[in-house]
Amino acid sequence: MQEPESAFPRTCYLCGGRDLALRFPERRSPDAEAGFNCTSFGHGQHPPIWRCRSCGLLFQWPMPDSDQLLKTYADVEDPLYVGERDNRYHTFRRVLAELGPPRSRRLLDVGAYCGYFVDVACEGGFRAEGAELSSWAVGQARQAGLTVHNQTVSERAASGDRYDVVTLWDVAEHLADPRAELTAARELLTPGGSLHLSTIDAGSRVAHMMGRHWPWLMDMHLYYFDRRNIARLLEQAGFQVERIRRYTHFVSVDYLLSKVGAAFPAVDAVAESIRTVSPERWRVPMNLGDNMHVVARRPA
């Protein structure tokens, strides 16, 4: 891992290239939230973000201390996430069809949070478990009767358990060492097993159009992949990439407008006005082309 004490990165994490340039200078507001919870409203608040001109990878620098990062995620509590439960279930039920027939296959959801996808996968016929760092979220999942391990991917791989499917929904961009974690995910898979992950797409048209105003530039996102370099990373971790598609989230209109107001303070008053006349539980599909669903396989 690169040395965080340097003010400037020396090499690219992904390709080792040295042609690096500052892409987005640090942005901070005095009253900004620097949350690492799933529903964080800290949009547009971030350390310096650099770009590798060789492979296109975007990454924040300096990187946070990896041990402190694990502790931060272990301490996360996120009751707002529970308030969006129905929409999370709707999102996950739609994506479950992409995993193929269940046939009682074993599935591990990495970054399972409160276990909603684990529950959906069990409903669909998988023998599903989760792995999650947040003690609060693990407690929520276990209260619902779900099997969620309070472990990292590497710790789960060391357990000796093996799975037919591993999923990482909105996780890869948060990892301090994504290559190592994805390599551990490969070890968790049986030969021929499949990996499904979603992550934000920094190479998307909307990301390019919005530039420094792209709302996913945040403290908690350490790496920003595009379709080409996420495939390269997965190949480095020993996977064969099969396909990459758009990924759609569903959220309530109230949650969406809260996010819009946080990301773009200039339109907060307008968002608030719309909120007062919109049905509170109206479900909105979010797909601007800047989220991707990647399917890869461990070679047989």
| 128-171 pLDDT, tens digit each | 999 999 999 999 999 999 999 999 999 999 999 999 999 999 99
* pLDDT for 232 beyond 80: yes
**What b-and-e string marks burial along 2-41, b requiring 16 or more CB atoms within 10 Å of the CB?**
eeeeeeebeebbbbeeeebeebbeeeeeeebeebbbbbbb
Q: Which helix (H) or strand (E) holds 120?
A: helix 116-123
Please compute the mean of the pLDDT values over residues 113-136 and round it to a whole number.
98
Nearest 5°: the CA angle 42, 291, 173 is: 55
The number of angstroms, rounded, from the C-alpha of 117 to the middle of its chain's C-alpha atoms is: 14
Least confident piece of the model among 24-33, 207-216, 252-261:
252-261
pLDDT for position 97: 93
Which amino acid, 81?
A: Y
| pLDDT tier at 251, thresholds 50, 70, 90 | confident
* pLDDT for 34 beyond 90: no
Percent of the residues in the chain that have a pLDDT greater than 90, as a whole number: 78
Bigger pLDDT: 111 vs 269: 111
Q: Token pair of 200, please?
A: 């934000």
Q: 66-83: per-residue pLDDT in tens? A: 999 999 999 999 998 998
Give the domain ranges of the chain. 20-297
What mean pLDDT is reported for the chain? 90
Q: Are 219 and 212 in contact (CB under 8 A)?
A: no
Q: Token pair of 25, please?
A: 């200078």
* pLDDT for 268 beyond 90: no
CATH entry 3.40.640.10 includes domain 20-297: no
Q: Are 150 and 112 in contact (CB under 8 A)?
A: no
C-alpha 167/C-alpha 294 separation (Å) is 10
> Hey, CA dihedral for 92, 148, 76, 220, is it positive or negative?
negative
| pLDDT tier at 273, thresholds 50, 70, 90 | low
C-alpha 287/C-alpha 163 separation (Å) is 30
